[in-house]
Amino acid sequence: IRLNGQTTFIWAHGNDGETALNYHGPNNKNTRTIGNLLTFSEEAEQGLMTLQAQELKTRSAWLAHGIMGFLAWGVFAPLAVTTAIMRDCPVPTVLKGIARRISEKWLYIHVGLNTFAYTVTLVLFSVAVSSINKEDHEHWEHPHSKMGLAMFILSSFQVLGGYCRPS
């Protein structure tokens, strides 16, 4: 990338939306050459400054969104599933005491971790909606936001179903 001079960007995507490593086809790749990146028109510069101001306003919120998403779906939900799956698995002799306590209380641990993961999901969903509102963007127009909405709805039904199930 050259700040003074021309920069050529290349891009390619899979055939008909495929994500597998494959031939891109003649219509699914291209290049774009941009002139001096330091030279902006006044309108483009004003637009860039507005975008940067919006990004600064919501940057910490999006960082919090990512961290909470990792904790909820990368740590707590997998631990909840692991607790349920491994409640009766054989363990080494060294871990027998811990395994016995976990097998006695696995349901409480499982419910607690799922509830915590859902609570964090509720907060991160609220942060995302709030940040999109602050940036004056449309809701649910990108695949990530559509997936987030689907995960929020499905996890809401999962938690509700878990709490409403018979003893």
DSSP annotation string for 6-17 = -EEEEEE--GGG
pLDDT of the chain, 167 residues: tens digit per residue: 666 677 777 766 666 656 666 666 666 677 777 666 555 444 454 554 454 555 667 888 888 999 999 999 999 999 999 888 877 777 777 777 777 777 788 889 999 999 999 999 999 999 999 988 888 788 888 888 899 999 999 999 999 998 898 77
Give the distance from CA 94 to its chain's centroid.
37
Cβ atoms within 10 Å, residue 161 = 9
d(CA 74, CA 53): 31
Sign of the torsion formed by the C-alpha atoms of 86, 87, 89 and 90: positive
Q: Please report the pLDDT score of residue 52 as a whole number.
A: 53
**Half-sphere CA count of 36, side-chain side, radius 13 A:** 6
pLDDT of residue 39: 55
For residue 40, the model assigns a pLDDT of 47
Q: Are 80 and 110 in contact (CB under 8 A)?
A: yes
pLDDT (0 to 100) of residue 25: 65
Q: What is the pLDDT of residue 87?
A: 78
Predicted TM-score (pTM) above 0.75: no
3-class SS of residue 141: coil
The 3-state secondary structure of 27-42, one letter per residue = CCEEEEEECCCCCCCH
Structure confidence at residue 1 (pLDDT): 63
Q: How far is CA 72 from CA 6, 30, 53, 142, 145, in A?
A: 43, 38, 29, 21, 16
